Amino acid sequence: MSHGIDLIDMMLSQKRGLEQSSILISQIAECKQQLEKLNVELESSQTSLTKLERFSLSAVVHSLSGSKDNKRQAEQEAITALESKRAETQKSLQQLKTELSKTETLLSKIDYGEDQILALSQMRPVSQKDDRLKLAIDIAKNHIVIIKIDEAIVTAKSAIEKLEETADYLDAARNLGVTARMGSNVISAFAKHKKLDTAKQVATQAQTLISQFNRELGNLNMPKTGSISLGEFARIVDSFLNDLNTDIHIQTKINKASDQLFFYKQSIIQTIKELRSKQKQEVERSASLEQNWNIFRAED
């Protein structure tokens, strides 16, 4: 039981550390953007001041020279204010970098494996009265689910990219079909075949990712999405090779395949929305579980 408690403590410490790191990284990026903006403003103000100083006051009417002096003083004051603000921002940036370095050092000292959390999530309490162990198991399960959702979303996005790439090759092949009817049949036919063959290869990659995505959905007890019919792509390529004169027929098949790709893509996008909704619920539950854990630990 002691090992389980230590494991959850380490996991929650890492979680808080990672959240803090994310906030610090975001703040550092904002500081850098602010510094870039201040540098641009300073450069502009210094340029304006240089232009004002080029004027010889003795060669200017007294009333106008007074105006130039006022403008020059205003520019100098603006530059001083900007330099002060830049110094403050640089100081804040350095402080944030130091704090981030400390946080990363602490994170590097947290040593546990996700396989240990997985093992804990699969444990069963020996006694129904062992509330602390049950809570530790619930936290571990919640952690694993959130990780699996993240992994599934990454896979889904990769599948969508491959579907879009396949669709691009199909569109290129469709456009070459139009060119072929306008002339240059042999060259266009060769290029079109190459596009169709590449589309088939990329569709195979998309299918592999979709199969992986479906397995990940199964692990989350969520309904699977559709699968690409690679046979349709093979038939398109084979039909084109067998008869180069059936271009209208091939164009129809390309249109059908493009429609199918759009359907698969929309199906995956919808599933991602459902995953994000589930993820939100699990993150909210995670906060509640962590709060209960802190209450337990305060009693020790």
Based on the fold, state whether residues 190 and 273 are members of the same structural domain.
yes
Within a domain: 184? yes
Determine the pLDDT at residue 138: 85
Within a domain: 10? yes
Q: Kind and range of the H or E element at 230?
A: helix 230-242
- Burial pattern 258-288, b for ≥16 Cβ within 10 A else e, equals bebbeebbeebeebbeebeebbeebeeebee
| Residue span of the structural domain in which 50 resides | 2-112
Based on the fold, state whether residues 247 and 169 are members of the same structural domain.
yes
CA gap 146, 262 in Å, rounded: 28
Based on the fold, state whether residues 108 and 163 are members of the same structural domain.
no
Within a domain: 76? yes
- Residue 243's SS3 state is coil
Determine the pLDDT at residue 58: 44
Determine the pLDDT at residue 129: 54
Determine the pLDDT at residue 39: 82
CA gap 37, 82 in Å, rounded: 10
List the end-to-end C-alpha distance of the chain, in Å, as a whole number: 14
Within a domain: 300? no
Determine the pLDDT at residue 201: 87
Based on the fold, state whether residues 107 and 154 are members of the same structural domain.
no
Based on the fold, state whether residues 158 and 262 are members of the same structural domain.
yes
Based on the fold, state whether residues 106 and 171 are members of the same structural domain.
no
Based on the fold, state whether residues 170 and 78 are members of the same structural domain.
no
The overall pTM is greater than 0.75: no
Q: For the chain (length 300 residues), average pLDDT per consecutive 10? A: 68 73 80 83 74 50 52 76 84 85 73 66 63 80 86 92 90 69 59 81 88 92 76 58 57 81 90 93 90 80
Determine the pLDDT at residue 177: 58
Give 57's contacts (C-beta < 8 A, 6+ positions apart): 65, 68, 69
Q: Which residue has the tokens 């981030």?
A: 100
Within a domain: 61? yes
Single out the residue of 230, 241, 223, 183 nearest to residue 206, CA to CA: 230
